[in-house]
Amino acid sequence: MTITRRQVFALGAGVAAVALTGLPRVTFAEEDKVQAAIDAFSGGATPETANVSLTAPEIAENGNTVPISFAVDSPMSDDDHITEVTLLAAGNPSPDVATFHFTPMSGAAEATTRMRLAKTQDVIALAKTSTGKVYMDRKTVKVTIGGCGG
């Protein structure tokens, strides 16, 4: 296939038009979106910084696959147990990453997963109990190569 001069000029005009109008940009979660996600999960209750242990690397060389784990100290009885835990990434395009559901039959409220992180940011774990209490832990992860196009 040969490319004509006319096609080269058309391609150049298309590239120039995109450059002038701008490419779609990746937007990151704003602090108010993160706070809104925390408020929606907690139902207006103020999260206590206790009982949740979030484990995350201090430095993630590759944001495509960052290991994250959490454990919540709870008796996991019928009267008092963790019902759900949600993970938020404050600097990703959407702060909601994952939600885990638990029952007393779970035995323990803990899990390990991997997530993508777009840039250096806070990872937040929120745990809700059957009694209505909400616990929180937050860790900052420094990302050297972003996993969400950053």
**Cβ(114)–Cβ(66) below 8 Å:** yes
Query: What whole-number distance in Å separates Cα of residue 123 and Cα of residue 145?
Result: 16
Q: Which two tokens stand for residue 78?
A: 């019928």
| pLDDT score, position 16 | 64
| pLDDT score, position 5 | 78
Q: Is 122 exposed, middle or buried (0-12, 13-18, 19+ CB in 10 A)?
A: middle
| Mean pLDDT in order along the chain per 10 residues (150 residues) | 74 65 56 91 92 96 94 96 97 93 97 94 97 96 75
Q: Which helix (H) or strand (E) holds 138?
A: strand 134-143
User: Which neighbouring-strand residues pair with 48?
Assistant: 135
| pLDDT score, position 13 | 72
| pLDDT score, position 149 | 55
- Provide the residue type at 21 as one letter: T
Enumerate domains of the chain plus CATH numbers: 26-143 (2.60.40.2470)
What is the model's pTM? 0.78
| pLDDT score, position 78 | 96
| pLDDT score, position 97 | 95
